[in-house]
Structures are given as structure tokens and as C-alpha cells.
Structure 1
Amino acid sequence: MARESFAIGGVRIRAGTVRALELPITRLVTGSDVTLPVRVVHGREDGPTTWINAAIHGDEVVGVEVVRQVMAGLDPKTFRGTLVAVPIVNVLGFMTGDRYLPDRRDLNRSFPGSARGSLAGRIAHLFMREIVSGCEVGIDLHTGSDRRSNLPQVRADLDDERTRELAAVFGAPVMLHAKIRDGSLRHAAREHGAKVLLYEAGEPLRFDDYAVDAGVVGVRRVLAALGMTEPVDEPPVEPSLECRSSGWVRARRTGILHLDAHLGQKVSDGERLGTLFDSFGKTLRAVYANRDGIVIGRTEAPLVNSGDAVVHIAN
């Protein structure tokens, strides 16, 4: 018997097809409708139901390109299961290159949301109802924030066996056991029983090739591990480095920062990472590692104030 059609947003999608649709969010003051773009690959054969999303923060464009490339390589006639792709969740922020929504709320602190809540709450509620509620696994794509760049990494609950297996399969240089934040998509989805991987890589408002490439291959590996596609020909160069905690090194002075530490560099406690200068080149203070570990994030801003986070080290 033919596989049943897939229901979402009031429409039904036949097995063995790809369907693009739009879920209504709100209306602008001009009268134009704002919608959530969704594309569904509903395979001809049975398999898990998974989602992939990007741009919960409107300035995080790396994930949008990851979704595009992943979707371009899928054939619904040979696909097993169903993949729901939402390349841009924070549509309003994405249009203006803004991390937040027009009401200045962080969408990733607004889940599970409410049908009668704030704009952020309504988008979160829509996403939970139409996307998360019917899925078993989700991949949430992010980049660094506030002029910061991130080493490709998967953040997840590594104490959950199945989640840890999928994080390892993704094959990013680092997989970090990350605490779940209240109001995040990962927290709300876990309450629904879904296994969620959060991918962090690159810098806001940039298509960093290293971040895009690692994300595309990682998502493809997870889909293959779930039995939705054929195995990927690109195994990880080496297993992901498992990290259980992380912390930021902060500037001790205000000045112009010259960072020597690069993403992926392994450092030792007390190792020199960079130097702060004044505008005439006078050395103000060196920046030192505060733990042993690997650099998973760094600021790209040359001007820093005392107390600013400059290097993120996982150990």
C-alpha cells in the first residue's frame, strides 16, 4: 500500500513528493502578510520524521545556506521518512539583519510560546504546533552572536544516549554537553520527546565556507544514520572531541585587541592568547587562557571594553 500523505498547515503532501508552503505569522502595518516558509520532503518509503531549521536569530545566515544545500541533494522518490525544513524562522529579523524580533524579544527564549502571547511567543507556538509536535529528531542551526565566530560544534544533552550517538555521527570538530536554557527551542522540543542537536558555526551575517561545509556534511550524516538516505561518502576526519564544560576569557582592560588564538586551537591554562593595546600601540595587558581546552569561539571585534568576552574555551 502507498504511504499515507503528510499533514501540515492545513494541507496534505503525497508520498514521494516535495512541497513548499507558507504558514501565516502576522500582518505588517502595510497590510502585507508575513509567513513562515516551509518545505517538506515526504519520502515514498516509511522512516522517521525529522525537522531542520535555521535563523531563529535573524542575523544567523549560515544555517540558511546549509538548509538550501541539504534540500537540493534530496530525492523524495528514494527518501525514507519525512523531513520538514524551515530555513528562516525569524522572518522579520532576517529581513533587517537583526538578531531579534521587532519587539526586541529573543525568539530562542520564547518557546514553547502562546497563541495569544507576544509576537515572539506566537511564532514559537506556531513552530511547536506545526513542526516540532510531529517530529522525532530536530537539528537547530546557529552561528556566533555579536561579532563573534564559532568553531563548528554540536551542543546537545550528551547524557542522553541516543542524542549523544547522533551528535557523534554529525562529526563536527567538537560536541559540547550544553545546559538546556529555559525558553529555548531545544528545551521545549525535549519536553515533547524529540532529540535535538544544536549546531553552532561561523559568524553572523556571513557565509563562512568552513561553517557551511561542516554543517551540510553533518546534517547529511545524521539523515543517513536515521536511515532516511544512503550513507554519506565523507566520514569525519577524526571523531568529535567531547567537551563537558566551557567558559569565556574576558578582557581585563579596555583597548584594541590583537588575538593570536584561532578557532580549533588547543590551549593550556595560562597560555598567552593575545594582547590589548592603546591607540598608539602601547601594550596595556596580555590575554591569557583561564583553563586547558580548545578554542570554540572568539570575538572578531578589535575594540573591547573591560569585561568583554574575547575567547571561548571548552574543556
Structure 2
Amino acid sequence: MHNKKIEILGHAISNGRGVQLNLDIAKLHTRTKIQVPIIVERAKKEGPTLLITAGIHGNEMNGIEIVRQLISKKYNKPECGMVICIPVVNVFGFLNQSRKFPDGRDLNRVFPGSSRGSLASRFAYHIMKEIVPLVDYCIDFHTGGDSRFNAPQIRINEDEESLRLAKVFNPQFVIQSGHRDRSFRQALHKLGKKALLFEGGKSLYLDEKVTEIGVLGALRVMQHLGIRDFNKELKSISERPRKPIIVKQSSWVRAKYSGMFHPFVELGAKVKKGDVLGSISDPFGYFERTIKSLYSGHIICINQSPIVNQGDAIFHITRNEDPI
């Protein structure tokens, strides 16, 4: 953004200033306000504006932890441009450890929202109206749903700049995937904003490795965009070298039986079609059935629930991939 006069939620943000604002547009039936803290840091020098979000699904704690660390370590203070952090977009879901908004809707399925729609839709509308027009880039942090543990991965559109940013982030996997209908990423794409959607870990769980990959990736992207020099911070952290893999297609292996689930492979493992991935057994010791891979590729998600039902997604495997 190059306009020296920037206003967010009715507050003027001058050069070199940091401020915490509250997005306050909804009330519960008890008249209790839903206030979403928004942390804004603007540098003295002009530059791009980066939006960093987490907690669109209120039970996806690991993304919230990544943004929390970026703020607590003051990594969100730019040398050029502006960084806007919304650590917990769905505050109500976070308080209740629930994926959904208080009206029962999935906030990530109602964008761009409506000023006259449901509670979640109205909330999405105000994010798109008040915050998104100021943004050039976005990193949106998520985790796997329920007991599904995702390997650290970036999901992007199929364009060169998004792929370049994903390479800079340096996750284990870069997945070129279509948009979910009415998702935040789709709404950003329609407005020409470049978005990286990070997936890592599972709901209601904090994982140190996933957190570190998320934090370091955000620092690399900010440095690449010229927002701030993080060479010192990146050099001080020893990270195992990775060769990210670009994924153009992936499929789930689903449970053929209901029972107790025993995975035999690790997340990120490379498997071949026909390899034994795990087993499903009954709790009484009468039967145990092996689960074989239907594809050759890498395991990018494992269902960590000890009990599964017939038809449940249990292993997510890449099918069309190339090394970056």
C-alpha cells in the first residue's frame, strides 16, 4: 500500500505506529459482544501489507499458537509496510473449543459474507469490507480437522507468484488445490490478493515442530516481501534441511471396516501402491484387517482417532507430485 493515510475500523494508523483494535460487529443473544482483537503494526517506510490470520475454525489451536509467537517475539513489527495480525478470528469458537461460529455455521464457508445474512456471514462481510481492501498478501494458518493430523503444508492457487511465495515459506509439501466454495482463500483470490493457506497438526492440539515450521515460514515470507530482515533470527535456529514437494493431486484411503485403528506408517512417509499402512480390528480379538495403500506417494495426513467407522478418511496420500 502506498497511501500514507490508512484507516482501519475508524482509526487512523500513522507511519511508525502500532495499535490493537477490536472488530466489534456482533452480539450474542445475551447481549454479550463478540470482540475480535486485531493487532496492527505499521512501519515508517512504505511497503506491502501482510495479513496474518488464524483461528477461523475456533478449535484449530496450532495456528493460533503460531501467530501468538509472531506477536510475542515482536516479529510482527515491520521495517517497511504494515503487518496486520488476527490471532483468533473465531473468538467464540476458540472459547468453546468448537470449529463453528455460534450460529452453527462454518465461518470458512460463508465468505465474502453479507451485511444482512447469518451471524457468521455478517462477520465475514465486515472482515472483507474493513480489513481485506488494505491487504496485499495473506498467510492463513489452519490445522487438520478433528483427529486428522496434517503434515506441514501450504495450499495455493496455480499461479507463479503463489508458487514462488510457497517455495520461500519452505514447508514439507506445497499443494496446488482448488478453492473451497465461499472460503476465505477463494474470496481473497477473487480480489487479486495472494494467499498462502498453511495446514499443520490437528484440532485441539499444539505441536512444537508444526509451530516452528509455521513461524519460520512466516519470517521467510516477510523477508522475501521486504517487510523486515530476519537473517539473524533464521540463522540462529537450526532447522533440518527439507526438499519441499509440489503436489497437484491427492486422494484419501478410507476405512473398509469399523473398529480400532492402528496406523503403521509415519506422517510424511513415502509409500508404494500395495504397501500395508495399518490395520483395523475389533475390540474383542476376533478379527484384524490390514489397510493397503491404493496409491504411490507421500502420506500428508493421518487420522489419529483410535476408533474409526466404515468410510472414514484415514490416510491422505499424494498422487501427482514433483520435487521443487
User: What TM-score does the superposition give when structure 2 sets the normalisation length?
Assistant: 0.92
| 1:163-178 matches, cutoff 5 A | 163-178=162-177
| Structure 1 contact 253–284 (Cα < 8 Å) conserved | no
In 2, Cα distance between the equivalents of 1:258 and 1:105?
33
Residue 119 of structure 1 aligns with which residue? 119
| 1:1-315 matches, cutoff 5 A | 4-74=4-74, 79-157=79-157, 159-232=158-231, 233-234=234-235, 237-315=241-319
Query: How large is the RMSD of aligned CA atoms in angstroms?
Result: 1.7
State the secondary structure of the residue aligned to 2:144.
coil
User: Structure 1's 179 and 75: CA in aligned 2 closer, same or farther, altered over 3 A?
Assistant: closer
In 2, Cα distance between the equivalents of 1:14 and 1:77?
14
| Structure 1 contact 16–76 (Cα < 8 Å) conserved | no
Q: 1:80-112 deviations in whole A, cap 9, x for unaligned?
A: 100111111111111100001122211111000
1:144 Cα offset (Å): 0.5
| Structure 1 contact 25–36 (Cα < 8 Å) conserved | no
In 2, Cα distance between the equivalents of 1:7 and 1:75?
22
Q: 1:193-246 deviations in whole A, cap 9, x for unaligned?
A: 100100000111111111111100011110011000104425771331111111
1:284 Cα offset (Å): 3.1
User: Structure 1's 254 and 311: CA in aligned 2 closer, same or farther, altered over 3 A?
Assistant: same
In 1, Cα distance between the equivalents of 2:225 and 2:219?
10
| Structure 2 contact 52–140 (Cα < 8 Å) conserved | yes
State the secondary structure of the residue aligned to 1:244.
strand
What letter corresponds to residue 85 of structure 1 in structure 2?
Answer: C
- Greater CA drift, 171-180 or 11-20: 11-20
User: Structure 1's 138 and 236: CA in aligned 2 closer, same or farther, altered over 3 A?
Assistant: farther
Q: 1:44-86 deviations in whole A, cap 9, x for unaligned?
A: 1111011010010010011111111112334787621001111
1:191 Cα offset (Å): 0.7
User: Structure 1's 266 and 77: CA in aligned 2 closer, same or farther, altered over 3 A?
Assistant: closer
In 1, Cα distance between the equivalents of 2:214 and 2:31?
37
In 2, Cα distance between the equivalents of 1:245 and 1:282?
37
| Structure 2 contact 77–83 (Cα < 8 Å) conserved | no
What letter corresponds to residue 269 of structure 1 in structure 2?
Answer: K
User: Structure 1's 153 and 75: CA in aligned 2 closer, same or farther, altered over 3 A?
Assistant: closer
The runs of 5 or more residues in structure 2 that have no matched partner are 320-324
In 1, Cα distance between the equivalents of 2:292 and 2:313?
12
State the secondary structure of the residue aligned to 1:101.
coil
- The alignment covers a number of residue pairs equal to 313
User: Structure 1's 174 and 75: CA in aligned 2 closer, same or farther, altered over 3 A?
Assistant: closer
What letter corresponds to residue 30 of structure 1 in structure 2?
Answer: T
The runs of 5 or more residues in structure 1 that have no matched partner are none
1:185 Cα offset (Å): 0.4
What letter corresponds to residue 241 of structure 1 in structure 2?
Answer: I
In 1, Cα distance between the equivalents of 2:59 and 2:42?
29
1:32 Cα offset (Å): 2.3
Identical positions, percent = 39
| Structure 1 contact 252–285 (Cα < 8 Å) conserved | no
State the secondary structure of the residue aligned to 1:62.
helix
- Greater CA drift, 224-233 or 73-82: 73-82
1:120 Cα offset (Å): 1.1
What letter corresponds to residue 281 of structure 1 in structure 2?
Answer: G
Q: 1:236-265 deviations in whole A, cap 9, x for unaligned?
A: 713311111111100111111111121111
What letter corresponds to residue 123 of structure 2 in structure 1?
Answer: I
| Structure 1 contact 270–288 (Cα < 8 Å) conserved | yes
In 2, Cα distance between the equivalents of 1:303 and 1:8?
47
Q: 1:148-174 deviations in whole A, cap 9, x for unaligned?
A: 1110000111x2010100011000010
Residue 322 of structure 2 aligns with which residue? none
